Structure 1
Amino acid sequence: MQDSPVITLLRFLRDGIETLVEGVGRLTAWLVLCMVLLIAYDVIMRYLFNVSNIAIQELEWHFFSLIFLLGAAYTLKHDGHVRVDILYQSHWVSERGRAWINLLGHIFLLLPFCLLVIQAAYPWVDNAYIRGEISPDPGGLPSRWLLKSAIIVGFSLLLLQGIANLIHQTLFLAGFETTASTIKRPEE
């Protein structure tokens, strides 16, 4: 039996979101390497040559912020976030039970939290852009609004991945997916 157009559309939407999040996650992994190299450069310059650069130090925490914010959705996609597994992983909870826990957790916790952060961050980013906010330190980086925009982008990606997970759990509970796990296994 062929799936209805709605089911096909939901799978297409879920897969599109997951492709986007996977791509951003892989790019974010390169930021980790860049940050490590930048920190190594900063340490060598500071301790061997007694040269300090405020812009380099700010760039380090900018990279860290980007890694954290942009990597959150990728981590959710791969089920890597910390959770209290006392009940979730116990033998008393079936796969359907875990799907319900995920579904309700996404609806009542993850999605509202993401929307709240995005809504709260928007005026803050907008104000930084309008004022042309720069680093308060001499020699610091300009365009502080770019980094602040990463809050909106990161939580928007997290929201999208939450929606993709929500679609997957709903399809599983309705009998259109064979597993509740959102993690793609090599054999799939």
Structure 2
Amino acid sequence: MDPQFFLQIGSVLGWIGLCLLPLFLLPLLTLVVPGLVEPVSKWLYKGIDRITDGAAAISIFTAICLLGFQLAAVIAAYAFGLSWTWLSELVVYAFAATFMIGACVALRDNAHVRVDILRPRFGETGRNWIELVGIYLLLFPICVRILQTGEQGLARTWLLFEGSRESDGLPLLFLFKTLVPIFAVLMISQGLSEALKAALRLTGKLAPADEAEAEVHYGA
């Protein structure tokens, strides 16, 4: 396949990313002029959270697949003395998809393990400021760096439709490697949602009732 095809796709995605850059200023604008951008901020974070609902469904499906693949591998190995590389790779792929796609769900639901010492000692206002600073100084730069460093490798693996190095493996390694930029994009989008929520809380524009309603919706 022509390498220019993948370069053109990368160029288009790059321009889309540049066009979306102003969205990252929206949480900061919410702090400065909350009355002006409040409707847009609420609409955007709710839309992102709905996308994360889809990621949650995919993650649940891959987790069920992981259980099935692993069970089949164990039964085949210990009951019949059989082993297949492709089945072992399916276990790895399902495991990776579950966590790489589900990471944004954990971010939305505040389920990530936090190792900071100071955050619990602050009040609600302090925690929201820490959330904003952490997202802008840590989450966004790291995920953007992941996208930048993986661009050439991703184009190469798709160009070759890279498969397993084992003769009886799956020809799907290019899809496996694509999970890395998907993870970064999902985390960036959900990070933007969390930053918007923190900014809305700091300006008093996000009532507890709104968050409770959202939790009921996402839980359903």
Scaled by the length of structure 1, the TM-score of the pair is: 0.90
RMSD, aligned α-carbons:
2.0
Q: Is the 8 A contact 2:154 2:174 kept in 1?
A: yes
From 98, 114, 117, give the equivalent of 2:143: 114
1:175 is displaced (CA, Å) by: 2.1
Q: Structure 2 matches for 1:65-144, cutoff 5 A?
A: 65-90=96-121, 93-144=122-173
Gaps of 5+ in 1: none
**What is residue 206 of structure 2 aligned with on the other side?**
177
Distance 1:6 1:42 in 2: 53
Deviation readout 1:55-90 (Å, 9 max, x if unpaired): 110010011111111011000000011112532112
Q: Is the 8 A contact 2:58 2:101 kept in 1?
A: no
Distance 2:45 2:176 in 1: 28
Q: Is the 8 A contact 1:77 1:182 kept in 2?
A: no
Q: Is the 8 A contact 1:168 1:182 kept in 2?
A: no
Gaps of 5+ in 2: 1-33
Q: Is the 8 A contact 2:52 2:190 kept in 1?
A: yes
1:127 is displaced (CA, Å) by: 0.8
Q: Is the 8 A contact 1:114 1:158 kept in 2?
A: yes
Q: Is the 8 A contact 1:126 1:145 kept in 2?
A: no
**What is residue 156 of structure 1 aligned with on the other side?**
185
Distance 2:211 2:175 in 1: 32
Deviation readout 1:97-128 (Å, 9 max, x if unpaired): 00000000001001111111111122111111
1:185 is displaced (CA, Å) by: 4.2
Distance 2:152 2:159 in 1: 10
Matched pairs, number: 182
**What is residue 41 of structure 1 aligned with on the other side?**
72
Check 1:15–1:135 CA distance in 2 against 1; reply closer, same or farther (3 A cut).
same
Scaled by the length of structure 2, the TM-score of the pair is: 0.77
Q: Is the 8 A contact 1:134 1:143 kept in 2?
A: yes
Is 1:25–2:61 an aligned residue pair? no
Please identify which structure carries the higher helix content: 2
Question: What's the secondary structure of 1:99's corresponding residue?
Answer: helix
Q: Is the 8 A contact 2:147 2:181 kept in 1?
A: yes
Identity of aligned residues (%): 27
